[in-house]
Amino acid sequence: MALIDSDYFGIRDKIFSGEITVPEITEACLAEIEAEKDLNAFISVFPEHALKRAKQVDQKIRSGHAGKLAGMVVGIKDNLNLKGYRTTCGSHILDNFISSYDATVVRRLLEEDAVIIGKTNMDEFAMGSSNETSYFGRVKNYHDSERIPGGSSGGSATAVAANMVMAALGSDTGGSIRQPAALCGVVGLKPTYGRVSRFGLVAFASSLDQIGPLSKSIKDAALLLNVISGYDPNDSTSVKQPVPDFTEDLKKSVKGLKIGCPKEYLGEGLDPEVRKAIENALKLLENEGAIVEEISLPHTEYAIAAYYILATAEASSNLARYDGARYGFRSSGIRNLEEMYTKSRSAGFGDEVKRRIMLGTYVLSAGYYEAYYRKAQKVRTLIKQDFEDAFKKYDVIVTPTSPTTAFKLGEKMDDPLQMYLSDIYTISANLAGIAGLSLPCGKDSGGLPIGMQILGKPFDEKTVLRTGQSLEDALK
């Protein structure tokens, strides 16, 4: 739809001049959500709330007191709390849970006059790479409805790609913002761990989770990062780090910028068309004056194993609270406490979540802790050191985001190991806690989007975004 097919900055002037009103934009988004409802991008939509909010924001614009995101219609992943509305995490065990408070990132969006239109679909408890594990049904890719959108923030990525919203928030534990962004042809940013408050995000793996934006452009992502970043005393992992204006250096030249391209990310398993798109993108950056060199991140091959030990261990601990006792789903016909726990969790959780809880409980159990969990923590340190060594010489690291374009729905559901390999290029950034960005860099012969990943030093999102902007401009 012409009204909402550009990014926020593309129509901001029209909003502030009165050529387009915020209610008109909101109505256009609601119409698009209805027209594309078969994609199943949303779990909950708030038409009355959104239109009421849109009118209030429109009045603030006319009075000259509007916030930085005035008129931006956004969706938020359904593991982020919005007071008075359901937060399901895509799970039966929380399908009637009503949030009693706003997540910090949600509050910051509202303070800057964004219009939240609904909660986007996701893999159950953010555990998945294809958005096929949601209790509320699988999400489909906007570019081909027979293919996956990526996960676990597939609903957010699809909503942005299909013009249902201007931007969305997702969470990224092992690539859950960047991988769906790549497969849906949008921009996805995982900030440095600690840059954005996790307060009000339902935890999957607390040392890996990070909230970030999905958008139609680098500039929109930078603006959203401006708003959601910053120290929060409610989050013990939030870092007291200055928040720069992430939009100010976007047009700065990349001439002389040193880019490392790790050979481990361009080997076996990488689709030839994805490789070609990445190589073409690197040539464009070289044409802009960047210096591209091959590097090595030697412990990359151990990342998948380490991640699926650490993430499942933390998941088993975080999900212990869903027991049918205090809130969420409770099974009927129970006779004692043990039955309540067993039946409620067995019926409330899906197969993938139960698989990860069992794996996590196993690696933390007596006799196996040292062999698995402790060893995985040591490998995590080695992976982090690989990046630290690389960043002594290079400003950013460029890799593919995903080894393939979007695969068919159901194609990997019976093979969890193949599904886990979908995250092979993204999980290292979470293990190391660094910033990562995915942006579209081409399409394959079937017209499916290809994403390129730009990794940066901790708290140096400005350089990551500047590199992304240079490529976005060159591709246009």
Active-site residues, by number, are 77, 152, 176
Give the ranges where 64-128 is alpha helix by DSSP (H): 104-111
Distance (Å, rounded) from C-alpha 436 to C-alpha 454? 6
**469: part of which helix (H) or strand (E)?**
helix 461-475
Q: What burial class does residue 235 get, using C-beta atoms within 10 Å of its C-beta: 0-12 exposed, 13-18 middle, 19+ buried?
A: middle
Question: Which residue type does 340 have?
Answer: M
Give the helix ranges, DSSP H, for 18-135. 22-35, 47-63, 104-111
The one-letter amino acid at 22: V
CA proximity to 242, closest of 230, 225, 226:
230
Q: Whose CA is closest to 403, among 248, 183, 227?
A: 183
Secondary structure (H, E, C), 334-394 = CCCHHHHHHHHHHHHCCHHHHHHHHHHHHHHCCCCHHHHHHHHHHHHHHHHHHHHHHHCCC
Using CA atoms, how far apart are residues 466 and 254, in angstroms rounded to an integer? 7
Q: Which amino acid is at 358?
A: M
